């Protein structure tokens, strides 16, 4: 029975929903989703008590999609969105929470430009992979703040640059196309704004700090 059902789902021709959707030059839509962001640290001197622990919290995303059809298998997409996320940093060699804990709440205007590479449509679904570059503006970076970790303020650069890789499946429903997808995001630049004190126990040993994470989007077109 399972083999029969599988054969019907993947092999039997079905009535195609919105069968001319992918023939349009431009299509538009919106997405909502969830994210989990982390930090990757590179240290100047690596010892047993230098690692900064990252508690990666969750967040959510919302945005728009503009899709340019290049041919039957390639699409160029611009996906500007608003991303909210939170991370907690735990610094070593401190005893009190006010000293070792830094809450990093970020609000990003995130703009990816990606190439979507799809397979041939089969019945009412079509898998794809996606890759490209993106940039973001962190509205909660504290980059220009005169205060630093001495008074509990963790600072990051306001602009960041990334590359992104992911995959998903287009589902063609009766009235619209629904697309769940998973995307990994990896920062290219150093996002840390260092403390004024050159010997700061928080930032002096960090050679580079960069975001990495993933997000799940549900797109409606």
* Domain interval for residue 212: 23-220
Average per-residue pLDDT in the chain?
A: 92
Q: What is the pLDDT of residues 71-109, one digit of tens each?
A: 999 999 999 999 999 999 999 989 999 999 999 999 999
**Which residue, among 24, 23, 26, 28, has the nearest Cα to 221 in the 3D structure?**
28
pLDDT higher at 13 or 19: 19
Over range 204-212, report the average pLDDT: 95
Confidence of residue 195 (pLDDT cuts 50, 70, 90): very high
Whole-angstrom distance, CA of residue 212 vs CA of residue 36: 9
pLDDT at 3: 52
Cα distances (Å, whole numbers) of residue 155 to 24, 104, 142: 45, 9, 5
pLDDT higher at 11 or 36: 36
Prediction pTM value: 0.87
Does residue 6 belong to any structural domain of this protein?
Answer: no
Confidence of residue 32 (pLDDT cuts 50, 70, 90): very high
Does residue 191 belong to any structural domain of this protein?
Answer: yes
Q: What is the pLDDT of residues 110-163, one digit of tens each?
A: 999 999 999 999 999 999 999 999 999 999 999 999 999 999 999 999 999 999
For every residue of 116-178, which 3-state class applies, written as one string? Answer: EEECCCECCEEEEEEEEEEEEEECCCCCCCCCCHHHCCCCECCEEEEEEEEEEEEEECCCCEE
Confidence of residue 46 (pLDDT cuts 50, 70, 90): confident
Q: Where are the alpha helices (DSSP H) in 11-101?
A: 97-100
Does residue 85 belong to any structural domain of this protein?
Answer: yes
Does residue 176 belong to any structural domain of this protein?
Answer: yes
pLDDT at 81: 97
Would you say 87 and 54 are in contact if contact means Cβ atoms under 8 Å apart? yes
Whole-angstrom distance, CA of residue 147 vs CA of residue 128: 46
Percent of the chain with pLDDT over 90: 85
Measured in whole angstroms, the distance separating CA 155 from the mean position of its chain's CA atoms is 20
pLDDT at 6: 47
**Lookup: tokens for 174:** 């009766």
* Statement: residue 196 has pLDDT above 50: yes
Whole-angstrom distance, CA of residue 173 vs CA of residue 110: 28
Q: How many domains does the chain have?
A: 1
Whole-angstrom distance, CA of residue 129 vs CA of residue 167: 4
Does residue 18 belong to any structural domain of this protein?
Answer: no
Does residue 166 belong to any structural domain of this protein?
Answer: yes
Percent of the chain with pLDDT over 70: 93
pLDDT at 13: 60
Does residue 172 belong to any structural domain of this protein?
Answer: yes
* Statement: residue 1 has pLDDT above 60: no
* Statement: residue 50 has pLDDT above 90: no
pLDDT higher at 175 or 8: 175
CATH code of the domain in which 106 resides: 2.40.160.20
Does residue 14 belong to any structural domain of this protein?
Answer: no
Largest CA-CA distance found in the chain, in angstroms, rounded: 70
């Amino acid at each position: 029975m399972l083999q029969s059902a599988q054969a019907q789902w993947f092999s039997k021709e079905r009535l195609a929903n919105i069968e001319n959707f992918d023939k349009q030059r431009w299509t538009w839509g919106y997405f909502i989703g969830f994210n989990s962001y982390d930090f990757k640290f590179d240290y100047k001197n690596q010892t047993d008590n230098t690692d900064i622990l990252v508690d990666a919290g969750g967040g959510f995303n919302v945005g728009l999609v503009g899709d340019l059809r290049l041919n039957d298998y390639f699409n160029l997409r611009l996906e500007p969105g608003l991303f909210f996320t939170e991370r907690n940093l735990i610094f070593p060699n401190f005893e009190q929470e006010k000293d070792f804990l830094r809450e990093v709440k970020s609000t990003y205007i995130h703009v990816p430009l990606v190439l979507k590479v799809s397979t041939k449509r089969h019945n009412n679904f079509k898998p794809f992979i996606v890759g490209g570059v993106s940039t973001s503006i962190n509205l909660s970076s504290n980059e220009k703040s005169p205060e630093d970790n001495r008074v509990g303020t963790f600072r990051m650069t306001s602009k960041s640059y990334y590359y992104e890789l992911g995959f998903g499946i287009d589902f063609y429903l009766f009235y619209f196309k629904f697309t769940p997808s998973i995307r990994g995001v990896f920062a290219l630049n150093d996002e840390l704004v260092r403390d004024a004190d050159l010997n700061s126990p928080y930032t002096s040993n960090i050679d580079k700090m960069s975001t990495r994470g993933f997000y799940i989007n549900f797109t409606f077109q």
